[in-house]
């Protein structure tokens, strides 16, 4: 089944404790992206990647890191999480830039 998977789905952590949210797709997609969704603000793009080893900033990259060492994986790293990073995070992928984006199921993060 073609899908985008994210792990974990739910995470509670404390300020400053490094964490990684994994994203994996099984569709051989070139383009992958991370978003955060907050009430009243909609989805905001954090980082995107056009292919392996090619990443760039979205609209709200501060406090986040990403890497794209393999085509299928695009982890989101929070080196020192803060409470304002409490949010619902979505990973998405598409075959090429112009193609439909497929979203993962989301990761709900609470930073205390």
Partner 1 sequence: EDQVTQSPEALRLQEGESSSLNCSYTVSGLRGLFWYRQDPGKGPEFLFTLYSAGEEKEKERLKATLTKKESFLHITAPKPEDSATYLCAESHNFNKFYFGSGTKLNVKP
- Tell me which of 92, 93, 109, 111 binds partner 1, using CB under 8 A: 92
In which region does residue 53 sit, left (phi positive, over 0), alpha (psi from -120 to 50) or beta (all else)?
A: left
Instruction: Indicate whether 105 belongs to the interface with partner 1 (CB under 8 A).
Output: yes
Q: How far is the CB of 15 from partner 1 (least distance, A)?
A: 26
Instruction: Please give the biggest Cα pair distance in the chain.
Output: 38
Binding marks (x or -) toward partner 1, 50..89, rule CB under 8 A? x-----x-xx------------------------------
* Tokens encoding 40: 């009243």
Collect all residues with Cβ–Cβ distance below 8 Å to 43 and sequence separation of at least 6.
35, 36, 37, 90
Among 1, 10, 42, 69, which residue interacts with partner 1 (rule: CB under 8 A)?
A: 42
């Amino acid at each position: 089944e073609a899908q985008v998977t994210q792990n974990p789905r739910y995470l509670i952590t404390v300020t400053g404790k490094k964490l990684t949210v994994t994203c994996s797709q099984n569709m051989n997609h070139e383009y992958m992206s991370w978003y955060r969704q907050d009430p009243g603000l909609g989805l905001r793009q954090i980082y995107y990647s056009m292919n392996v080893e090619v990443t760039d900033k979205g609209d709200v990259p501060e406090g986040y890191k990403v890497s794209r060492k393999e085509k299928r994986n695009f982890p989101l790293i929070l080196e020192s999480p803060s409470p304002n990073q409490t949010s619902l995070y979505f990973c998405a992928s598409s075959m090429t830039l112009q193609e439909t984006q497929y979203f993962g199921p989301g990761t709900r993060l609470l930073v205390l």
